[in-house]
Structure formats: structure tokens, C-alpha cells
Amino acid sequence: QSVLTQPPSVSAAPGQKVTISCSGSSSNIGNNYVSWYQQLPGTAPKLLIYENNKRPSGIPDRFSGSKSGTSATLGITGLQTGDEADYYCGTWDSSLSAAGVVFGGGTKLTVL
């Protein structure tokens, strides 16, 4: 069971917008920065968002990130069939007994 909670799946039609949530606690999301990754089928994860809402070079502005309290959200607008993938959130967990990087369980995006 993952430390961060994501919905197992989301779906939307091409051209529409979708959001993926990532819920944590004060020891992780609440007091640290969140990153997001896209994993296309059969490939390694790729960085989409870092420091809650920043996009690496080459990532289109259709992808956005936000954070509020102990939750973070990935938004994708103008959905394309090529966006079908698994999406993961990640952050640092500052727990005294278990400090380290933690990830969500992943969300499968289906573009109908």
C-alpha cells in the first residue's frame, strides 16, 4: 500500500480536461514539494512536473500541477490519445522513522 493515495483510474474524451489527485499527510506533501511522472506503456517514467507546479523543458503547458495542504493535483487539458499512460506523484517524506522518497500508487489515464 502506497504512502500517497491516487485514484486507480480516470478517463475523459479527447480534447477534454482531466485532473488526478494525490493525497498525503503533513509529513510528506504537507511540508514538501511534489513531482509528477508519466509512464507510457512499456517505458520508463518521465518527469512531468517538479516543485509542485514547474514544467521541465519540453513538457507542454497542457500539463499543470498544484498543491494545497496535504494534497496535490495534476491537470491535463486538451487530452490526446498519446496521453494514455500511468501517472505517479512523488515527494519526500520527513517521518522520523521512515524518511525518504515516497510515491503514489499510480493512476491509469484512459482517453476514450
Partner 1 sequence: QVQLQQWGAGLLKPSETLSLTCAVYGGSFSGYYWSWIRQPPGKGLEWIGEINHSGSTNYNPSLKSRVTISVDTSKNQFSLKLSSVTAADTAVYYCARGLTGIAAAGTWCWFDPWGQGTLVTVSS
* Closer to partner 1 by Cβ: residue 75 or 105: 105
CB of 84 to partner 1, least distance (A): 17
Contacts of 65 (CB under 8 A, 6+ apart): 34, 36, 48, 49, 52, 53, 54, 72, 73, 74, 75
CB of 60 to partner 1, least distance (A): 16
* Closer to partner 1 by Cβ: residue 79 or 104: 104
CA–CA dist 27, 52 (Å, integer): 16
CB of 51 to partner 1, least distance (A): 5
CB of 70 to partner 1, least distance (A): 12
Contact set with partner 1 (CB under 8 A): 2, 31-33, 35, 37, 44-47, 50-51, 56, 88, 90-92, 94, 97-106
Q: Is the CA virtual torsion 68, 65, 10, 37 positive or negative?
A: negative
* Closer to partner 1 by Cβ: residue 88 or 111: 88
How many CA atoms does the CB half-sphere of 76 hold within 13 Å?
A: 28
Residue reference for cell 500539463: 63
* Closer to partner 1 by Cβ: residue 13 or 42: 42
